[in-house]
Chains A and B, each alone.
Chain A
Amino acid sequence: MEFMTYHDFMFWTKGMAYVGMGLALVGFIVFWNFLTTREDDRFADKEEE
């Protein structure tokens, strides 16, 4: 991608970084759920007991 001004470059790269951070935050929630679901199930079982 060609940039005519420094502002264009910063606008594009900062924009991409913000999109990346947003995706990372959403992805982390999914990842955390995957990592800890079994633990939650185990605690739920204990509470039922």
Chain B
Amino acid sequence: MAHVGAPSTKFWTPANILTAIILVVGIVLTVKRFTMGIGSVSNLSDDNPWGIWIGFDLLCGVALAAGGYTTTAAVYLFGMKKFHSAVRPAITTAFLGYAFVVFALLYDLGRYYRLPYPLTIYPGPTSFLFEVGLCVALYLTVLAIEFSPFLWEVIGWAKIRHLVHKLTLALTIFGVILSTLHQSSLGGLYLIAPSKLHPLWYSIYLPLFFFISSIPAGLSMVILEGSLSHKYLAHKMDDEHHHGFSHVVLGFSKAASVVLFAYFCMKWIGVAMDNNWSHLSTGWGWWFLVEVLGFVLLPCLLYAMAAREKNERLAFWASVMTVAGIILNRLNVSIIAFNWRLPAEARYFPSVEEFLITVFIVTLEITILRICLNKLPILYQHPQFRDAH
């Protein structure tokens, strides 16, 4: 193993102190939300029942966790074994991403013990939300099973680890099917609000937009996290991860550029189909152009140049822009361009507590990810199970 960037032995570093403060504040606000109600911590209302917890934590969380199904599909379904080193980090990120999507959803629901109700007590099988709930529940289970071998390897339970390993292909196929369904259905949720969502973002193709854009989002997250792991956790990586990383970055850059190009074209087909050209000359139109040109076309070209020139640094910045673009798109659809006709004083803006709870959830996820990457065989193969993949 390489020993580059070995960690400091000091525990109370400035980053850890900041993390501790955020976690303490988050726990206090969590207690406040679950004891004093949603109104005590949020600006949500009947006009704006879905706020930043849905727009950012849920919509962005699900899109950015798409690295799990894209990477496993590339390796196990399309046989691209050169990307194998990216599978474990991608599954870990996806599993934690989905787990925290469900965790964040509890803040909105309030009565967390009723989470299984739509699947058991009051099923609504004609609803998009039912489909999203069912798919997320099933996919989280699939990801938990895919993630479990990392634990079994550490504990030394070889039999159950081999049993799960045999299920890899079936789990991958099931995961891709479920992701296709719920990634698109999240966009489908907004089909019910054509009069509330701005025409430039509203389209009958919203489910397709959400699904297609989740692919570069997932690929970008794998590149982004891989680059950061390479920089800060290099001492944890084995040779496969060190040498395979360039293949992952350049291969995923190429794939992401092609999908972003298709997504860019589809966005314009959407504008043409609804004849929304006249909106482009308004302020909303300029904002739409910022999103589509600045955060779809530009990263698409950057990725293409990175893949062409074999420039990993450029690929890293393209991944940052793509992730920012996906977040911007989901926030535009769910918050910024939603209820756009309402006067400014009636528009939704998150409260400080909503922001802080979101920061708390993201910080908690990153902390657990750090622990997983440090303690589990994710960036390296467990010596006892080497070549058993």
Contacts and interface: CB of A to CB of B under 8 A. Distances in A.
A37 B257 CA distance: 15
B219 to A, nearest CB: 15
Given A28-B261, A31-B261, A35-B254, A16 B272 contact: yes
A9 B275 contact: yes
Contacts of A32: 258
B368 to A, nearest CB: 37
A31 B268 CA distance: 17
B209 to A, nearest CB: 15
Could you say which of A19, A20, A21 has the most chain B C-beta atoms within 10 Å of its C-beta?
A20
Given A20-B268, A20-B269, A24-B265, A35 B275 contact: no
A27 B309 CA distance: 20
Interface of B is mostly: helix
A7 interface: no
Interface in B222-275: 254, 257-258, 261-262, 265, 268-269, 272-275
Nearest to A31: B261
Interface residues of A, number: 19
A36 to B, nearest CB: 8
B66 interface: no
A34 B307 CA distance: 10
A13 B308 contact: no
A1 interface: yes
A19 B308 CA distance: 29
Interface in B256-311: 257-258, 261-262, 265, 268-269, 272-275, 277-278, 304, 307-309
A20 to B, nearest CB: 5
B11 to A, nearest CB: 46
A20 B268 CA distance: 7
Given A34-B308, A35-B254, A37-B308, A27 B265 contact: yes
A47 B268 CA distance: 41
Contacts of B273: 13-14, 16-17
Interface of A is mostly: helix
Nearest to B303: A35
B257 A13 contact: no
A9 to B, nearest CB: 7
A35 B268 contact: no
Given A16-B275, A35-B258, A24 B304 contact: no
Nearest to B307: A35
A9 B277 CA distance: 13
B282 to A, nearest CB: 16
A13 B272 contact: yes
B258 to A, nearest CB: 7
Interface string A24-49: 10011001101101100000000000
Given A13-B275, A16-B272, A17-B272, A35 B257 contact: yes
Interface of B: 254, 257-258, 261-262, 265, 268-269, 272-275, 277-278, 304, 307-309
Given A13-B273, A28-B265, 5 more contacts: A20-B272, A31-B258, A31-B261, A35-B257, A35-B308
24 contacts: A1-B275, A1-B277, A1-B278, A9-B275, A13-B274, A16-B273, A17-B273, A20-B265, A20-B268, A20-B269, A24-B268, A27-B261, A27-B265, A28-B261, A28-B262, A28-B265, A31-B258, A31-B261, A35-B257, A35-B304, A35-B307, A35-B308, A37-B308, A38-B308
